[in-house]
Amino acid sequence: MHAAGDIGCWLCVGGGQPRDSSKPAAAKSSASIRPAVTQRPYDRMPARPLGEGAVDDRDHAFLRTAFEIPVPGGHKIPPADKVVVIHRLDARYGDLAWMPDGRTPCYGKIREGYSSLNCGRLSDEPPAPGLLFTATGEHDRVGSVENRDEVRVVSFVITEGGPARFDHVKRSKEMGPVHQAVARFPTGRMVTFLTFDRPHGLLDPEAKICRSDRQTCFPSEHVPL
């Protein structure tokens, strides 16, 4: 799709009077030339998880725990077959996501006593090539001076395509593994959901995560917004 532009009169010059062919045509102002606008694909139907990302019998307690939390205003609890399970910590906790359409990501971080559900909107400009959405990270538990070293920060990323594997290229000390799951829209377009965790506090700013073909990479210490 392209942005709508003004429709001019291709045959009229100077109020409809014919132009003298012996005179050179005036050059068009650069301001009048509008570049084509390439818009992000917009899928109107929900995405469905593929493979291990699909909900199965082991996830019933997980979904009950997740949707005891109020879903952000304006959004609904998704059907189980639209929920993407990114990471299973145990029977009741982990990370999940869903996309009710191609422009709306929702993400759940479900932990004992410290869970959250968030929904957002894809920006008009991607954060970086191949990236659709990033969340810099949320604590996985309530921290205090006594247990601050035990608190982890969980980051959430959505990328275009699938199911190529993502992993650490340069891994910071104590950085957790990359968890991922793929979903596909009815149009055939696929997206990959990623979560990973790290210790609370600063790490190596050069650490990054890349897709196996190296076409999409992003910093794992400080994910770009």
The pLDDT assigned to 125 comes to 86
Tens digit of pLDDT for each residue in 4-18?
A: 333 222 222 233 334
Q: Average model confidence (pLDDT) for the chain?
A: 82
The pLDDT assigned to 172 comes to 82
Q: Which residues contact 24 (CB under 8 A, 6 or more apart)?
A: none
Structure tokens at 50: 């593929």
Instruction: Check whether 124 has a pLDDT greater than 70.
Output: yes
Tell which wins on pLDDT, 89 or 23: 89
What predicted TM-score, i.e. pTM, was given to this entire model? 0.79
Is there a contact between 183 and 53 (Cβ–Cβ < 8 Å)?
yes
Mean pLDDT is highest, among 57-71, 110-124, 131-145, 202-216, for: 57-71
* Cα-based distances in Å from 93 to 60, 84, 191, 199: 11, 14, 23, 19
Name the least confident of 89-98, 148-157, 178-187: 148-157
Interatomic CA distance for residues 33 and 132, integer angstroms? 29
Tens digit of pLDDT for each residue in 155-164?
A: 999 999 999 9
Q: What is the mean pLDDT of residues 50-79?
A: 97
Instruction: Check whether 38 has a pLDDT greater than 60.
Output: no
Residue 42's CB is within 10 A of a number of other CB atoms, namely 13
Q: Which residues contact 83 (CB under 8 A, 6 or more apart)?
A: 49, 55, 63, 96, 97, 98
Structure tokens at 77: 């609890």
- Nearest alpha carbon to residue 85 among 66, 71, 103, 112: 66
163: preceding bond cis by omega (within 30 degrees): yes
The pLDDT assigned to 35 comes to 41
Is there a contact between 119 and 208 (Cβ–Cβ < 8 Å)?
no
Tell which wins on pLDDT, 145 or 180: 180
- DSSP state at residue 111: -
Tell which wins on pLDDT, 150 or 3: 150
Tens digit of pLDDT for each residue in 193-224?
A: 999 998 877 778 889 999 999 999 999 876 55
